[in-house]
Amino acid sequence: MKANKLLLAAAAIAAVFFFASCSKAEKAERKIAVFVPGVVSGNPVYEMLSAGVTEAVASYNAEHGGEVKLSVIEAGTNQAEWSTKLTALAATGEYEVIFSSNPSLPELAAPLTSQFPKQKFIILDGYLKGNKNIATVRYNQREQAYLTGYAAGLVTTASSSVMKYANAQKKIALVAAQEYPVMNKIIFPSFVEGAKAADPEITAEFRIVGNWYDASKGADIAKGLYAEGVDVILPIAGGASQGVIAAAKESGFYIAWFDNNGFSKAPGYVISSSVMEQKKNAYEQTLKFLKGKTEFGTAQTLGIKDGYVDFILDDPAFTETVSEDIRARLEQVYADIKNGSLVLNSKD
């Protein structure tokens, strides 16, 4: 009897160690991925995305014993390949969740939730509701673009004695890498809306680079716009935006910047920076998922009042470049949006 009891006790102890080791192994195998539709380096949106997720994983691992592994996968700048590469990533079945950020990503991810019903997606800067495997959190880019357009409008209508690169024509422009629904339906129309709030006579040009990397083409487009009388350009073109900046320095026109603080990119030429708090959002959404609190099937829109869209008003380069009167008017409109006096709901 004693021998049997000893054997049973030994078996029980062995079982405890077995299940404990299995539990540790399972924890060690938790994996999440960041799918970058482009490349990280040089793109502020993807730099903030990967930094936010990376910091959240490090924070979670420090608190929970290093159980989560993160992979960052760059899909490259050829948009035609994104769907195939996202499908291949989901097909591995390795990742609890795939994080990404791009307005086009919900459309690419949605069919995969039927093909791979266990795969979850969290997509920032995109919008889709009702899919039980996808959670999206977008930014109010109408607020972003409106403020940017308002700043461009105030500058293009200023005299050259106030803003030295401003000319007599009331012309601004947006140079985009590509056309996509959010650009066509929200960003460009809201940019124009903001500009016309400053002066209804302003005209806005729209040009397409055709990709997210061709700085030379970006520069050529910007020079052509400058020759047509444009004195403020908003580039939303990834690496191609560097060509627009180079052209501004060479020719002498102003830049409005989007998504992060761009004043240091060309001091004296950048007149505004509208910011989306992508890193903060990525960090928070990652921790929320790792703690089992993500509500899939939901679609959120976050803006200025929520603290996820901002407009830089305190950078020294802003004060040095932009006149006091223009700064005051921008500050007032920003305050009106923040306190609810001016409501700019994002358009679905």
pLDDT in tens, 134-153: 999 999 999 999 999 999 99
Q: Please report how many Cα atoms fall inside a 13 Å half-sphere around the Cα of residue 146, on the Cβ side.
A: 21
Q: 86-93 contacts: CB < 8 A, separation 24 or more? A: 86/35, 86/112, 87/112, 87/115, 89/33, 89/35, 90/115, 90/116, 90/119, 91/116, 93/118, 93/119
Domains 2-140+279-302 and 141-276+309-339 fall in the same CATH topology: yes
Our CA angle for 202, 203, 208, nearest 5°, is 145
pLDDT in tens, 66-76: 899 999 999 99
Domain boundaries, the chain: 2-140+279-302, 141-276+309-339
- In contact, 308 and 276? CB cutoff 8 Å: yes
pLDDT in tens, 74-101: 999 888 999 999 999 999 999 999 999 9
**What CATH number belongs to 2-140+279-302?**
3.40.50.2300
Task: Tell me which CATH homologous superfamily contains domain 141-276+309-339.
Answer: Response regulator (3.40.50.2300)
> Mean pLDDT over all residues of the chain?
92
